[in-house]
Structure 1
Amino acid sequence: MERSKRTPWQARWIWGGDEESPRNEWRWFRHSFFCPEDMEADAEAVLWLTADSRYEAYVNGTRIGRGPVRGYPTDLFYDGYDVGSLLRRGETNTIAIQVLHFGISNFYYLRGRGGLLAELAVASGDGETILAATGAEWRTARNPAQDPAVSRMSCQQAFAERIDARRFDGDWTSPDYGDDGWEDAREIGEAGMEPWVRLQPRDIPYLTEEPVVPARVGSLRRVVPYALSAFIDTYALMKNPGEENANPIGYASAIATVLRLAEEAEVSVLLNVPGFGGGSFPKVLRLGQRLVPSDRWSVEPPLVRCRAKLPAGDHLLLYADFGPDHGHMHRIAVDCDRKIEWLSPIQAERPGGPGGASPFALIGPTFAYTMVDYVDQSALQQRWEEEAAKLANALAPLSAIEEIVQAGFPVRAIPYTHANDLDAFAPQFAIREAEAYAVPESLQRAATASADPGIVPVFKNGDTEFMLDFGKEWSGYLSFELEAEAGVATDWYGVEYRKGEYVQHTFGLDNTLRYITRAGVQSYTSPVRRGFRYLYVTVRGASSPVKIRAVRVLQSNYPAPEAGSFQCSDERLNRIWDISRHTTRLCMEDTFVDCPAYEQTFWVGDSRNEALVNYYAFGGADIVKRCLRLVPGSSFQTPLYVDQVPSAWTSVIPNWTFFWVVACREFAEHADDRAFAAEMLPRILNTLKAYLEHIDGDGLLNMRGWNLLDWAPIDQPGEGVVTHQNAMLVKALRDAAALAAFAGTPDEAAWCAEASDRLAAAINARLWSEERGAYLDCIHADGRRSDIFSMQTQVMALLSGVAEGDRLDRLTGYLTAAPEGFVQIGSPFMSFFYYEALMRSREPSAMRTMLDDIRRNYGFMIENGATTCWEMYGHTTVNRANENDLTRSHCHAWSAAPGYFLGAYALGVRAAAPGWKKAIVEPLPADLAWARGAVPLPGGGTIECEWTADAGRVVSLSVVAPEDVELDVRVPAGGEVRIRRLKRLPVE
């Protein structure tokens, strides 16, 4: 819905509390109003609203939606909900809205300030009647059950969740709720105020919320966690004052606490500190009087362990910390078999709760700087290394906090908000004892829809942990109903992968929710999005069994009907196509995202490939347009455009911008949208001109940046001439020329074509090796020519059209028989481009090579229980510390290539004209005996195709298509072809 431009907002922005942009504050707003009895039953009553950062909205106790969709603060999106059916005529009605304000920037949000804007408008013959609008008469209170002092979920996301249900005093969304203890909201400005200067209507449909229940209870254990555990938000503590970004940082600092022992005991320390176990800097770890050298640490990446026998008394625990740090929380856990507690080294007493200090002190930082990948920061990095070494050497002989203070180092208490021992994530892996039990039938009911609840048993000496298996990965909002005594801590922890007794903990992602029960039956639905397959539930501190009445995930994604389909004679390929579609679905939120668990980030380069899979699996067009339009919004950060948007991490992967240009052309042609082409062309030309400023004297792109294409060990340094990057710039320029011609601007097309030809000539003149018969990977900044040759570079030379003549023929041959010593394709993402290069020829041998590659690599995922496509193949992962640790993310849409290629080439349906006005039907059977499926069309409808083959030749083909789609059917002579046409309804 879009608000009429003739009707200005009457609502005013409101907020509450003392802070303009508080850290992780969940704030409630309410307003009651009278609805006229004579309001027409079918009147359109729309609640218009938006908020910073996110909201949940209710009318008379019914939740109507969540939002807003991600965007830039300057162009904030608003939503409109028709709530006429929820209004009670002639009675008092209540609007209740919870606003989740992050108070920090991340990879999908740039920090603004806390705010809510809402108004309820009823359409009438004379225009609109405003029944309610945000203003000073609204009431507000901070959500009393939500503890803001929790860790970040990850550097990409906002915060984990800790809820104390004992603090709820009724249903605050109900009209009957008494808000006497609340405060009046504070008006902060009119619509159009800074930073939300432009309000934009939502440009994508509302996301789904489909309840998904567990398939089974998979395990039961008695567990005893370490005695002490905590998180520390070092990233927030080390940021330079006044900085507001999500860039990685380096610093020189240390963390300290005091361990108090009542008697002598052996103490175990477990650290999960990003970068702590490796790196070139000297590291310091002190446990009491013992200085533990790094060669005595027990390193099990990403964990570091050490032990020491300590006498009774107080002991300093200190470790140096240098980063690099990108917002991943530090975890620390301490255990022994005697009474132990930790104290603030400054206060020497048990720290207080919210508003007080934590058990930790920060030493420094003595130096800190922000890392930017496309800026020369070599001098800053050198100083960082020097300052880190200097600090480590100075701290090594100091064994008491008083000595550290006397040495002149700045020491300050870390506040409770940034570090505390109520952490729910560390106890998931910092476990002293674990004892497995068979799952009783009474607990198995927790995974059923039975009226009988699941009964969680109580262990005398330990907590109760059980695992809910949802059958496959899902992404959305956790919801549960349980019955318990008051004060029981229930920890809900989602993971993606387990195998036997191995659980792949989500290091780098705090995927937990701690819910502390009130007495009786209660339900809770989290407003925090999570992705997982397995849900570990740990019940802590219960004296009587907890009853689980319901657990579900509200699966939330772009409303993508499964209009596309594919099946063939190879069941392995069918399963691979299915997991490719499911992966893509889970990675379609309000934008495409890389994964539903770790990041939930719109990575620009990933989305190009995701868009193509989406066209074949779902046919969604507006989600693609929305993603493409968001990218130039990052121009305020850099004209090169940022690689993930809207994001406060100012990072540039040049190839990701080039892929975006390609995706703009592909979408414009897919949808036959010339207006979109004309809209995007100036933005495309602006960034391409900025890149061309980095052309060196040899005519090559020579620049700093995150010059990434694949995770494989190809030579792609952060500075210099990277061949695959130069080739992709050629491709981007040529696609920009095609888009300019499509938009009707031939002059722009001409200069893009000329620039691409000049760059292609320079690549062929300077980056080809006659000796190896291939393009080398790069020329380093010091002029050294790389001696590494990779298939990745050759693939991009083919796709960009840089390779011509004999070179084209030679590289094409490498696709099915790579030369010895060439770096091979290392990720499913790179395989997408490899398959593109293979399918340029559409030869039977190329098709067979692609199918065998899919069977081998994706089949490995299937054999290891995958229900979604992994970020990495698993068997190709380098430097793997654990044979079961096959990949980080187990649901990554950049890996869903089979969802596109099986439809486009095995089934054989591809567009041959803008808007699919003409389509090619050209099955490539290879070794398949039959295939059938459907491909969605951008104007609605599908092309359905079914064929059989014998010895690689199509013998029968059936096609069903709309009557206005011209078909170019290509089958061998003698093949039987049947075509059926469907009429289209007239467009209103």
Structure 2
Amino acid sequence: MTPAASHSPWRGQWIWSEDIALTPPGPGLMLGAPDPARFDRRVLFRRSFDLADVPATAPFRITADSRYVLWVNGTEVSRGPVRHGPRGLTYDTGDAAAALRAGRNTVAVLARFYGHATPWWEPSPWTYTLGGGCLVAELQVADDEFIATGADWQCHDGDAWTPQQPRSGLFTQLPEILDARRLDPDWQRPDATAPAHGWAPVRVLAAHVVVGPGGDARPPSEPFGALTPRPLPAPARHDREPVTFRQAQPATAEGESDGLYATLAAAVTAVADAEPRPAGPPLGTEGPPVVLLADFGRVVHGRLRFAADAAEGALISGSLLELPTRAALDSANAFRYTARGHADTFETSDPVGGRYALLVLRGPGPVRLRSLTVREELRPRPDGPYFACSDDALNTIHRVALRTVDLCAHDAYVDCPTREQRAWTGDFVVSQSVDLVTNPDWSLARHHPRLAAQPRQDGLLRMVSAGDFAQDPVPTIPDWSLHWIRSVHHLYRYTGDRDLVAGLLATAEPVLRWFLPFQGPDGLLADVTGWVLIDWSPVQVAGTSAALNALWARGLADFAEMAEWLGDTGRARWARDLIAQVATGFEEFWDAGRGAYRDHRVDGTVREAVSEHTQAAAVCAGLVPKERYPAVRALLLDRAAMFTSSPMSHRGSDTGGPLATAPVSTRDAPDWDTGRLVVGAQPFFRYVVHDALALLGAADRIERLCGDWTALLAEGPTAFRECWEGGSSCHGWSATPGRDLLVHTLGVTPAEPGYTAVRIAPALGTLSWARGALPTPHGLVHVEVNGDRLHVEAPVPVVVDHPDATTTRHRPGTFDTTLRHP
């Protein structure tokens, strides 16, 4: 059997139950409208058929708005789709032959329509029939025989789940309330019994639009356009088990009528002082309610799963938490499971993250857990690349940086797995850069910038990609769009993919042009609207922000370099002319006596504050004349003068919770000694600082600066937190040592776009040796530096920049050479 091509016409039709979440057209509602009363609904679908023989292959395609899980004869074979924009929908493919059998077979799908925007899903525009829940699938079982969604399928509304709403505007995950008594545990199997009120015919959704042809129930359809294949590999699965448990009895016996989060808040207080003991279910209760706190020993992310022996009607409530505190519940997703009395197993519908599983078990009758795991589903990290050096602390920092990125790498790079799971437009530039030097699979590094390239009507990018904060009227962060341009520059340098980069430059130019109305006669941007963030540090941005101007100039420089590479000299010249204008105006920020650029100008007066953000961004943008390099380098290396402060240090689950205190965008005026102290960067902006130091000739100091991450290991030895103090317990933007120890210390970078040649410029600093392997489109590059000796294995030509500023060139292959020192 030859599998159907991914671009072949669909045989499956869009289907749903009669309970589609759209109201019909009416006065003032030409296309109808979303119906919130039918949001967060699940529908069970089935189609049985007979096979005389099992085919050698059985390819399938499937997708749904918003989520689906596909089983064949009770075996899960796929779930998805991946995160996507409101007018783009991807489908998943696979081979189900291993799950088929001769005789009776059943294809079953649990599909879910969120309706409410979540961090990983935003509603599509609606038509008469689509945009309120839909499923399409097809399974090829013979050369010309398909099991495809259509009128011959059956459905059953998933009333075992109680529809939920977002708890707050910041944390919009939907809690899960499941009454297993209303769900046959074998409903996906051929021999399943019918629900009490039976299976019903599906509703075929023939697409309709206001004008033009309509009525076809097969993709492509408005509002999704042409369905495209999943751009990412299937996730790697690893089951994680707890290492210790604590057990206690709650102070009061909460009942089912109590609020779920109130129950869990009381439970976490009750178990706080219990003594931990080694893991080893079964654990549970014979009578009174019991609280269990399972410690997985590390931050984990995936689907929390358990199997239990429980009487019918027993309740198991729970959540996965960053920390065992009441404040951690502010950002945690919770569930409540009502036992059916047999075959009681549960798996959270949506991925959750944290370190501690909090569970409340209560009767009637005994309730015991037979197993408790988190099934991690993270994008794969193939073997091959590595880093090692003579400093064990840096080896640990590098390893934890990679784990941090892995936990934040799903169907997009997310900010953190434990709280929001939003794909913030600026945050991901660090995770992407780490992947490009440590992971041979660049599919996510290539995909995320395209996912984020969904601008507003005015050209600026959204605050996040494909999620709740991508919707109006949520404002955006202007500088995050500029970090996105840097992510495109990464693709230019590492992949050398002209089509990919050219397509993204079509979005980059309007981003850069969005800032033009804010440019004054002096060439500088002033009073830029939106949330100018820069970093969680208190960088002063009111009025004319030096840091924002420098980031804009860096974005223009990146754009000019890429445009010229593509042969577009006109646009390259346009961008460089703007950089020259910024450079002229930027001189006003230079304070020769201070040996630094000041942070901002308000009402015509340059204020006193100084940050390493402004210095570093100015260097990376090419705004700093060479004669000032020594002064700027000295300022960036004077770590005693740096102070770090963040609004997150007064927030986060380790203190008052992420919903406490004033808005995080609030920035107080300086209350520090601005003549002596320098605002230091939080972990995120350190990627810019380290890039600047390399340009300033101080790459040999970067390995010592990466040692600052030792402070983060003290409180989170398995993942890096968001800020030096406070914030989420695992945040991808804090992982820059995973890149910098390879790029700046070992010194391996592309010498030409696409790694057609590799540049090696070791700057080991205090290290006696370092070695590693980095992925390229042509294979791994192996580099080892031991004292003055350099050993290289490369599939492409090599350019070696020696410490004495001389250069040698080498053919592809293996060679050894002596590094030249001044």
Q: TM-score range by the shorter chain?
A: 0.7 to 0.9
Q: Deviations over 1:218-274 (max 9, x none)?
A: x2222225969xxxxxxxxxxxxxxxxxxxxxxxxxxxxxxxxxxxxxxxxxxxxxx
How far apart in 2 are the matches of 1:654 and 1:796? 15
Change over 3 Å in CA distance of 1:740–1:551 after alignment to 2: same
User: Which residues in structure 2 correspond to 1:868-883 (within 5 Å)?
Assistant: 868-874=719-725
2:751 corresponds to which residue? 912
Residues 1:836 and 2:691 aligned together: yes
Residues 1:970 and 2:802 aligned together: yes
User: Which residues in structure 2 correspond to 1:789-938 (within 5 Å)?
Assistant: 789-817=610-638, 821-843=676-698, 847-848=700-701, 850-855=702-707, 857-874=708-725, 887-938=726-777
Q: Which runs of 5+ in 2 are unaligned?
A: 23-33, 125-130, 207-216, 642-674, 816-822
Residues 1:105 and 2:132 aligned together: no
TM (norm. structure 2) is 0.84
Change over 3 Å in CA distance of 1:737–1:13 after alignment to 2: farther
Q: Deviations over 1:855-874 (max 9, x none)?
A: 2x311222224210110112
SS, match of residue 711 in structure 1: coil
How far apart in 1 are the matches of 2:264 and 2:274? 19
Paired amino acid for 2:112: L
Change over 3 Å in CA distance of 1:29–1:972 after alignment to 2: same
User: Which residues in structure 2 correspond to 1:120-139 (within 5 Å)?
Assistant: 120-122=138-140, 129-139=144-154
Q: Is contact 1:160-1:510 (8 Å) kept?
A: no
Q: Deviations over 1:492-527 (max 9, x none)?
A: 2212236xxxx4742431332222222245222222
Q: Is contact 2:286-2:365 (8 Å) kept?
A: yes
Match of 2:14 among 12, 15, 32: 12
Q: Deviations over 1:904-928 (max 9, x none)?
A: 2322322211222222233222222
How far apart in 2 are the matches of 1:212 and 1:496? 16
Deviation at 1:611, TM superposition (A): 1.1
Q: Is contact 2:295-2:356 (8 Å) kept?
A: yes
How far apart in 2 are the matches of 1:425 and 1:205? 39
How far apart in 2 are the matches of 1:2 and 1:899? 41
2:312 corresponds to which residue? 486
TM (norm. structure 1) is 0.70
**Same amino acid, percent of matched pairs:** 27
2:666 corresponds to which residue? none
Match of 1:958 among 791, 798, 807: 791
Q: Is contact 1:121-1:129 (8 Å) kept?
A: no
SS, match of residue 427 in structure 2: helix
How far apart in 1 are the matches of 2:638 and 2:713? 26
Deviation at 1:118, TM superposition (A): 2.4
Paired amino acid for 1:966: V
User: Which residues in structure 2 correspond to 1:314-353 (within 5 Å)?
Assistant: none
2:531 corresponds to which residue? 706
How far apart in 2 are the matches of 1:516 and 1:925? 58
Paired amino acid for 1:715: Q
Paired amino acid for 1:727: A
Q: Is contact 2:51-2:105 (8 Å) kept?
A: no
Q: Is contact 2:46-2:109 (8 Å) kept?
A: no
2:158 corresponds to which residue? 143
Paired amino acid for 1:427: L
Q: Is contact 1:564-1:934 (8 Å) kept?
A: yes
How far apart in 1 are the matches of 2:582 and 2:61? 50
User: Which residues in structure 2 correspond to 1:226-625 (within 5 Å)?
Assistant: 421-424=258-261, 427-429=264-266, 436-438=273-275, 444-446=279-281, 454-458=282-286, 460=288, 463-497=289-323, 503=325, 505-541=327-363, 543-544=365-366, 546-625=367-446
Deviation at 1:731, TM superposition (A): 0.8
SS, match of residue 75 in structure 1: coil
Q: CA RMSD in A?
A: 3.0
Q: Which is higher, the Rg of structure 1 or of structure 2?
A: 1
Deviation at 1:59, TM superposition (A): 1.2
SS, match of residue 900 in structure 1: helix
1:318 corresponds to which residue? none
Q: Deviations over 1:892-945 (max 9, x none)?
A: 010001101111232232221122222223322222222222212233x31222
How far apart in 1 are the matches of 2:168 and 2:99? 35
Change over 3 Å in CA distance of 1:700–1:3 after alignment to 2: farther
Residues 1:162 and 2:168 aligned together: no
Q: Is contact 1:661-1:735 (8 Å) kept?
A: yes
Q: Deviations over 1:328-385 (max 9, x none)?
A: xxxxxxxxxxxxxxxxxxxxxxxxx9xxxxxxxxxxxxxxxxxxxxxxxxxxxxxxxx
How far apart in 2 are the matches of 1:70 and 1:486? 37
How many pairs were matched up? 741
1:207 corresponds to which residue? 235
Paired amino acid for 1:423: L
1:728 corresponds to which residue? 551
Q: Deviations over 1:738-761 (max 9, x none)?
A: 111122222221111112222222
SS, match of residue 684 in structure 2: helix
Change over 3 Å in CA distance of 1:455–1:641 after alignment to 2: closer
Q: Is contact 1:699-1:758 (8 Å) kept?
A: yes
SS, match of residue 140 in structure 1: strand
Change over 3 Å in CA distance of 1:487–1:969 after alignment to 2: same
Q: Mean Cα displacement is larger for which, 768-777 or 519-528?
A: 768-777
2:201 corresponds to which residue? 184
Paired amino acid for 1:63: E
1:29 corresponds to which residue? 44
Change over 3 Å in CA distance of 1:2–1:529 after alignment to 2: farther
Deviation at 1:708, TM superposition (A): 0.9
Residues 1:94 and 2:103 aligned together: no
How far apart in 1 are the matches of 2:275 and 2:456? 57
Paired amino acid for 2:7: K
Q: Deviations over 1:576-627 (max 9, x none)?
A: 1111000011111111111111111111211112111111221332212211
Q: Deviations over 1:86-116 (max 9, x none)?
A: 2234x33221111121111234322133333
Q: Which runs of 5+ in 1 are unaligned?
A: 229-352, 354-419, 447-453, 875-886, 949-953, 984-988
